[in-house]
């Protein structure tokens, strides 16, 4: 039996986050940057089959806005699920050390 696959969409801001993460790590270690980017992209691609695998945030503000969180290494992927259109929308990819108050 084939599972319904969700389409992964990246917002422009999340694409910029990936570029920033890569550039920051690339300064010190090219191979580490490539490996991390690969792990992040694999984790996100798994959401196409398991969109509800990310955790519901404890932060009530994020929870009310419908975000889910996927932790990969020291990065948090903030995403929303559009169950009607079978889409997972990646909104931000931030270091766990970074403030996420500006997330909308």
Q: pLDDT (tens digit, 9 = 90+) per residue, 25-80?
A: 999 999 999 999 999 999 999 999 999 999 999 999 999 999 999 999 999 999 99
pTM for this predicted structure:
0.90
| Residue 99 reports pLDDT greater than 80 | no
Domain ranges of the chain: 7-95
**Per CATH, which fold does 7-95 belong to?**
YaeB-like fold (3.30.2310)
CA distances from 8 to 2, 24, 32, 88 (A): 18, 25, 24, 5
């Amino acid at each position: 039996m084939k599972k319904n696959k969700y389409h992964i969409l990246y917002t422009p801001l999340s694409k910029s986050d990936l570029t920033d993460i890569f550039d920051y790590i690339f300064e010190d270690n090219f191979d580490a940057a490539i490996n991390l980017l690969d792990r992040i992209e694999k984790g996100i691609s798994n959401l196409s089959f398991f969109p509800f695998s990310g955790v519901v945030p404890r932060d009530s503000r994020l929870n009310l806005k419908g975000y889910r969180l996927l932790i990969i290494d020291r990065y948090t992927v903030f995403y929303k699920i559009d169950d009607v259109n079978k889409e997972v929308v990646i909104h931000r990819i931030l270091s766990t050390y970074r403030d996420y108050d500006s997330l909308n």
